[in-house]
Amino acid sequence: MNDSSGPHIPRTPPRKSATFDEYSIAEIQRAAATGIYDIRGGGTKRKLPHFDDLLFLGASVSRYPLEGYRERCGTDVVLGTRFASKPIRLKIPVTIAGMSFGALSGQAKEALGRGATLAGTSTTTGDGGMTPEERGHSHTLIYQYLPSRYGMNLTDLRKADAIEVVIGQGAKPGGGGMLLGQKISPRVAQMRNLPEGIDQRSACRHPDWTGPDDLEIKILELRELTNWEKPIYIKVGASRPYYDTALAVKAGADVVVLDGMQGGTAATQEVFIEHVGLPILAAIRPAVKALQDLGLHRKVQLIVSGGIRSGADVAKALALGADAVAIGTAALIAIGDNAPEWESEYQKLGTTAGSYDDWHEGRDPAGITTQDPVLAARLDPVKAGRRLANYLSVLTLEAQAIARACGKSHLHNLEPEDLVALTIEAAAMAQIPLAGTDWYPGKTGI
Amino acid sequence: MSSALKEMTRSEPVTFDLTAEPLRNLSIALHALIPQTNQTSWQILNPRGQHALAVGVTVPVTIQIDGHVGYYCAGMNDGAVITIEGNAGPGVAENMMSGIVHVKGDASQAAGATAHGGLLIIDGNASARCGISMKGIDIVVKGSVGHMSAFMAQSGNLVILGDTGEALGDSLYEARIFCAGTPASLGADCEEKPMTPNDKVILVDLLQRAGAQAEADDFKLYGSARTLYHFHVDNAGAY
């Protein structure tokens, strides 16, 4: 009705549509103006059921806690005990996820290596190969084996401490990648054997195998190439975690890496990031169940990733059955990504500190997601590595604090029975009882 | 003379029978070779389609495999001259860095996939995706190749004496494809190019090195139209 026709008729305020909200309208307008989908970096930004929806119960009359600062709570983890003669031994169960030189500056990769090494954990290469700086500064380096095989060579393969066969990632299960020309610097182009400055496409399927039966043979080849020494990880984006885990095990994995949709990417379509895959909370229990059904839980190790921010997240992931977690976005934040000190420059890019996600454009004021030598020089790898080590230390201390409160002498002793869920959704996804009940949706045999 | 010294000074081919010893022992023996080894000639008997044979060899020895091989034979080869007296399964010479791999029979899918260097000779036909994502290798196929060959091929040369399946050179980068027969179709961004004198020199050399009986003038050259090098909405249908 026309509510402005009389002086005494109350006006209703302008009402925005919940469906066509501000963001949706802006995206329609942007799409109409450009004819192309939006590309960005990072992981999903939508609100999802997550570790925040779980709580630890802590000790009580029925269970007693460990003394906070005196009684030991172990944090070490051994990865790759199934077939590899030289498993990975880490001091903490928090690893650094695969991120490429190309997506990241050389300084950022060095910082990740330094920080991980200080903390006693591993870091991981990405699409584009292994740089000498990265190998040199990473005590334990996992070498990713990707569909593109950019920079893949036997010498580096044998220098690695483990090999991670990448089938997918949480931000884009089923998707390949594209590194825009701004980031194909002479060095990146040379490493990837591509013309300088072109938009580089990365395939989504491996070139020489298809399916789990072929993968088993590919893993045999990788083991023969490296003398059966190195653990073979298989990384999958969370989509069908029960079957993917079971098939990875069948193919011969020593370690399964499971990446939820909160996990970041250097660049892909916004629609892909936000609409494909599972939140990590929903993926862990099915993966653990697959390992348990095969009698291989804790024998084939499970690393989970996607939205790990705090020691509480680490503890919850481990309590749900993971052996370790991996961090990517949080590691970048720790070394300086989205830092407030660059706010004025973020604003020039049309964004703000905390929201910057145009990692593919190579104009990162913090010098992390760029190949611009001037910007990259802003990042001091030594100081940034120290910040990462500090952060990893805090994650570990926080997880230990929770574990002790639950009476656990090792982080791996955390268990689902230590948890309750705050929402019915989280209860269903994590198969953890709703707080105050002994029930979760789908639970049978009550 | 100790047996170890005898091993070091032997000059006759080392024979390795895969019915008598497992693959693991073969890999250990080949990977233990040093560049100055006297064991420069190897003969592998009874491969019987086993996978991952003679992978990751980094010394310039000659290896003759007497029979058919399974997946990834000569994978990541870096310097050895490997001859397969039979057919090869998928991914023969995948990711080769240098050396020569010669398949006397036919090769399955993804022959020479992602390889950075060296020469792969296939006397028979190669199946789909021959030279996929190749990164500098030279491949000579004396027969025909299957569909999507040289998909996303980055650099190097693929020489085909016969015909090709659909979508030759799809999403090609800077690799050259020489074909004497007829491509069933060209893939996205692949086009026929004029053959320069330099291209012809490369082709003649490869034909000679591969022992191929063919005239360079009978070949056409295919390469990248480079329209997909920069993502553009007008090309969205090609992606």
Distance CA A305, CA A283 (A): 10
Q: Mean pLDDT over residues A347-367, rounded?
A: 94
CATH fold of the domain at B46-238: Pectate Lyase C-like (2.160.20)
| Best of A156, A224, A228, A230 to mutate (most B CBs within 10 Å, chain B) | A224
In a domain, A193, yes or no: yes
User: What are the angstrom distances between the C-alpha of A36 and each of A26, A201, A203, A270, B231?
Assistant: 14, 17, 20, 11, 10
Which chain A residue has its CA at the smallest distance from B149's CA? A207
Q: Mean pLDDT over residues B14-38, rounded?
A: 97
What domain range is A173 assigned to? Answer: 41-430
Digit-coded pLDDT (tens) for A268-313: 889 999 999 999 999 999 999 999 999 999 999 999 999 999 999 9
**Summary mean pLDDT of chain A:** 94
| Best of A127, A154, A222 to mutate (most B CBs within 10 Å, chain B) | A154
Contact A224 B116 (CB under 8 A): no
Quickly state the pLDDT bin for A69 (edges 50, 70, 90).
confident
Quickly state the pLDDT bin for A262 (edges 50, 70, 90).
very high
Is B147 in the A-facing interface, judged by CB distances under 8 Å?
no
Residues in chain B within 8 Å Cβ distance of A36: 233, 236
Contact A193 B97 (CB under 8 A): no
Is B33 in the A-facing interface, judged by CB distances under 8 Å?
no
Tell me the nearest-neighbour CA distance from A266 into chain B, angstroms.
16
In a domain, A445, yes or no: no
The reported pLDDT for the residue numbered B233 is 63
Residues in chain B within 8 Å Cβ distance of A198: 173, 229-230
The reported pLDDT for the residue numbered A2 is 54
Does the CA dihedral A142-A147-A150-A152 come out positive or negative? Answer: positive
In a domain, A31, yes or no: no
- Does B10 have pLDDT greater than 60? no
Contact A154 B78 (CB under 8 A): yes
Digit-coded pLDDT (tens) for A147-197: 999 999 999 999 999 999 999 999 999 888 777 777 788 888 888 888 888
As given in the structure block, the two tokens for residue A151 are: 């920079």
Question: Hey, what long-range contacts does B83-86 have (CB within 8 A, 24 or more apart)?
Answer: B86/B47
Contact A149 B91 (CB under 8 A): no
**CATH number of the domain within which A154 lies:** 3.20.20.70
In a domain, A2, yes or no: no
- Does B100 have pLDDT greater than 60? yes
Length of chain B: 239
Distance CA A402, CA A408 (A): 9
Is B28 in the A-facing interface, judged by CB distances under 8 Å?
yes
As given in the structure block, the two tokens for residue B171 are: 């999403």
- Does A402 have pLDDT greater than 80? yes
As given in the structure block, the two tokens for residue A288 are: 């653990």
Question: What values do phi and psi take at A173, rounded to 5?
Answer: -60, 125
The reported pLDDT for the residue numbered A3 is 53
User: What are the angstrom distances between the C-alpha of A352 and each of A30, A339, A342, A368, A409?
Assistant: 19, 10, 9, 16, 43
- Does A8 have pLDDT greater than 60? yes
Give exposure, A238-257, as e/b (b: 16+ Cβ within 10 Å). bbbbbebbbbbbebbbbbbb
For A5-45, where are the E strands, in sequence order?
39-42
Q: What ipTM was assigned to the predicted interfaces of this complex?
A: 0.93
The reported pLDDT for the residue numbered B111 is 98
Distance CA A390, CA B62 (A): 53
In a domain, A92, yes or no: yes
Q: Cα B140 vs. chain centroid, distance in angstroms?
A: 8
The reported pLDDT for the residue numbered A287 is 98
Does the CA dihedral A267-A269-A272-A274 come out positive or negative? Answer: positive
Contact A208 B52 (CB under 8 A): no
Tell me the nearest-neighbour CA distance from A223 into chain B, angstroms.
9
The residues in B 58-97 lying below 8 A from A, measured between CB atoms, are 58, 70-72, 75-76, 78, 90-91, 94-95, 97
Q: Which residue has the tokens 């991996």?
A: A326
Q: Which residue has the tokens 């009476």?
A: A407
In a domain, A9, yes or no: no
A129 touches A191 (CB < 8 A): yes
- Does B28 have pLDDT greater than 90? yes
Digit-coded pLDDT (tens) for B142-187: 999 999 999 999 999 999 999 999 999 999 999 999 999 999 999 9
Task: Report DSSP state, residue A223.
Answer: H
Q: What is the CA radius of gyration of chain B?
A: 19
pTM: predicted TM-score of the whole model, two decimal places:
0.94
A106-119 and A381-405 helices, crossing angle to 10°: 40
The reported pLDDT for the residue numbered A186 is 84
Distance CA B221, CA B176 (A): 7
What residues form DSSP beta bridges with A49? Answer: none
The reported pLDDT for the residue numbered A445 is 59
Percent of chain B clearing pLDDT 90 (strictly above): 90
The reported pLDDT for the residue numbered B3 is 43
B184 touches B165 (CB < 8 A): yes
Which chain B residue has its CA at the smallest distance from A39's CA? B231
The reported pLDDT for the residue numbered A9 is 87
Residue B52 is nearest to which of A154, A192, A220, comparing CB atoms?
A220
- Does B8 have pLDDT greater than 80? no
Residues in chain B within 8 Å Cβ distance of A157: 76
Digit-coded pLDDT (tens) for A12-37: 999 999 999 999 999 999 999 988 88
Distance CA B85, CA A387 (A): 58
Contact B109 A36 (CB under 8 A): no
Domain count, chain A: 1
Task: Report DSSP state, residue B161.
Answer: S
Contact B136 A193 (CB under 8 A): yes
Digit-coded pLDDT (tens) for A122-144: 999 998 889 998 999 999 999 99
Length of chain A: 446
- The per-residue DSSP string of B54-105 comes to T-S--S--EEEEES-B-TTTTTT-EEEEEEESS-B-TTTTTT--EEEEEESS
Question: Hey, what long-range contacts does B20-24 have (CB within 8 A, 24 or more apart)?
Answer: B23/A224, B23/B50, B23/B51, B23/B52, B23/B53, B24/A224, B24/A228
What is the number of CB-based contacts under 8 A between chain A and chain B?
102
B114 touches A207 (CB < 8 A): yes
